[in-house]
């Protein structure tokens, strides 16, 4: 890489330079990051330990928890160091690693959320054939495809971005090495990279979102045929959690990468990146656990087991 660029490290500008505000942000983000790690780890442990949660729905939720932990851990620790004035610089290799992992986990989550909507579609629209359609072979295939697609397209975008010549300035106007912020520093035309990013957004944001909406239109049609109040409640409690997560994730990602640019776009991108890099992963376990009866029962069972021991 050093033959391609004269820049050996970048400076992450992060947030405000006000020491009091930075300390306040450090406290808030530390709590959110701890909640992300503990919440998603708890969901992962509950699904592994409780046999009642060994179903396709929770299998994919387990993968979502893994993605959220890795996603936040890729960006947030360095951001926290930056806020207390101990880690504003990042090496070129470290920046490239951040971009690469960030893209892999983001794209993987896009596909996983679409796969989870398909699982809900089969469960509600074809309940008698659910076990036959959503067998473990298909579940493993869908999970593997999600990770492989995320890895391949994340690697493609990261490799093309990192092979651009960077000749300064080396200040990244972000709290981590976000690909659009880093492309601003390239001393060559980046049109091809931006076209690729837009094409990937179409494939990993708009296309999966269209599949999700189609799935839920079929689910809605099925719900309208249910005359039982209990059936309505069970269906909405099952799908409501996933719809909330989909709205938070896709809404922010589409607005950030496919929305109109502005003079304050990087200020906007910092807030949006913070939302789906930290806030959304910390909320996912809360959304699923509070709205899911089986997860709450598994948590109570785990608590009783601890009391006994």
User: In this structure, are strands 9-12 and 89-91 parallel, antiparallel, or unpaired?
Assistant: antiparallel
Cα 297 to Cα 286: distance, rounded to the nearest angstrom? 14
CA nearest neighbour of 162 among 89, 79, 98, 90: 98
Q: What letter would DSSP give residue 282? A: H
69-83 b/e (C-beta count within 10 Å ≥ 16 → b): bbbbebbbebbbbbb
**Dihedral over Cα of 251, 254, 259, 262: its sign:** positive
Classify 1 as helix, strand or coil. coil
Domain of 271 in residue numbering reads as: 9-308
Contact 142/261 with Cβ under 8 angstroms? no
Residue 1 lies in a domain: no
Cα 134 to Cα 118: distance, rounded to the nearest angstrom? 10
Edge to edge, the sheet with strand 171-172 lists: 89-91, 9-12, 171-172
**What CATH number does residue 18 fall under?**
1.20.1070.10
Cα 220 to Cα 233: distance, rounded to the nearest angstrom? 13
pLDDT tens, N- to C-terminus, the chain (309 residues): 444 456 788 888 877 777 888 889 899 999 999 999 998 998 898 888 888 888 898 899 899 999 999 989 998 888 888 888 766 788 889 999 999 999 999 999 999 999 999 998 998 889 889 999 999 999 999 999 999 999 999 999 999 998 888 876 788 888 888 898 898 888 888 889 989 999 999 999 999 999 999 998 888 888 777 666 665 666 666 677 677 778 878 888 888 888 765 444 556 677 778 887 888 888 888 777 656 677 777 777 766 765 544
> How many domains does the chain divide into?
1
Predicted TM-score of the model (pTM)? 0.88
Q: Which pLDDT value is given to residue 279?
A: 81
Cis peptide before 169 (omega within 30 of 0): yes
Contact 175/75 with Cβ under 8 angstroms? yes
Residue 248 lies in a domain: yes
Residue 2 lies in a domain: no
Give strand ranges (E) for 6-124.
Answer: 9-12, 89-91
Residue 4 lies in a domain: no
Contact 261/255 with Cβ under 8 angstroms? no
Q: Which pLDDT value is given to residue 51?
A: 83
Q: Which pLDDT value is given to residue 307?
A: 53
The dihedrals phi and psi of 150, each to the nearest 5 degrees, come to -60, -45
Distances (CA, A) of 245 to 86, 113, 235: 33, 8, 16
Residue 3 lies in a domain: no
Q: Which pLDDT value is given to residue 309?
A: 46
Residue 178 lies in a domain: yes
Residue 47 lies in a domain: yes
Cα 246 to Cα 214: distance, rounded to the nearest angstrom? 14
The dihedrals phi and psi of 123, each to the nearest 5 degrees, come to -65, -35
Residue 85 lies in a domain: yes
Q: What letter would DSSP give residue 172? A: E
Cα 65 to Cα 223: distance, rounded to the nearest angstrom? 28
- Which tokens belong to 211? 């599949």
Residue with tokens 């089969």: 122
**Other beta carbons within 10 Å of 160:** 16
Beta partners for 172?
Answer: 12
């Amino acid at each position: 890489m050093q033959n391609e660029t004269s820049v050996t490290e970048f400076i992450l500008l992060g947030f405000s330079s006000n020491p009091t505000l930075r300390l306040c942000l450090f406290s808030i983000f530390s709590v959110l990051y701890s909640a992300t790690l503990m919440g998603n780890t708890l969901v992962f442990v509950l699904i592994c330990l409780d046999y009642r949660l060994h179903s396709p729905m929770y299998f994919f939720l387990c993968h979502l928890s893994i993605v959220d932990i890795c996603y936040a851990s890729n960006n947030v620790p360095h951001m926290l160091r930056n806020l207390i004035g101990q880690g504003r610089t990042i090496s070129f290799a470290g920046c490239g690693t951040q971009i690469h992992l960030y893209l892999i986990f983001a794209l993987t989550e896009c596909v996983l959320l679409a796969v989870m909507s398909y699982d809900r579609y089969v469960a509600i629209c074809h309940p008698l054939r659910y076990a036959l359609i959503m067998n473990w072979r298909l579940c493993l295939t869908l999970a593997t495809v999600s990770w492989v697609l995320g890895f391949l397209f994340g690697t493609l975008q990261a490799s093309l971005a990192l092979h651009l010549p960077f000749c300064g300035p080396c200040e990244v106007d972000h709290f981590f090495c976000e690909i659009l912020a880093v492309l601003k520093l390239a001393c060559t035309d980046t049109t091809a990279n931006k076209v690729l990013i837009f094409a990937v957004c179409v494939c990993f944001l708009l296309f999966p979102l269209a599949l999700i909406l189609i799935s839920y239109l079929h689910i809605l049609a099925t719900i309208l045929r249910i005359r039982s109040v209990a059936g309505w409640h069970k269906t909405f409690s099952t799908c409501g959690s996933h719809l909330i997560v989909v709205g938070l994730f896709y809404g922010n990602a589409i607005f950030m990468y496919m929305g109109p640019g502005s003079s304050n776009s990087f200020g906007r991108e910092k807030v949006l990146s913070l939302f789906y890099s930290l806030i959304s992963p910390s909320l996912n376990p809360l959304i699923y656990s509070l709205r899911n009866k089986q997860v709450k029962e598994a948590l109570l069972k785990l608590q009783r087991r601890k009391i006994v021991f």
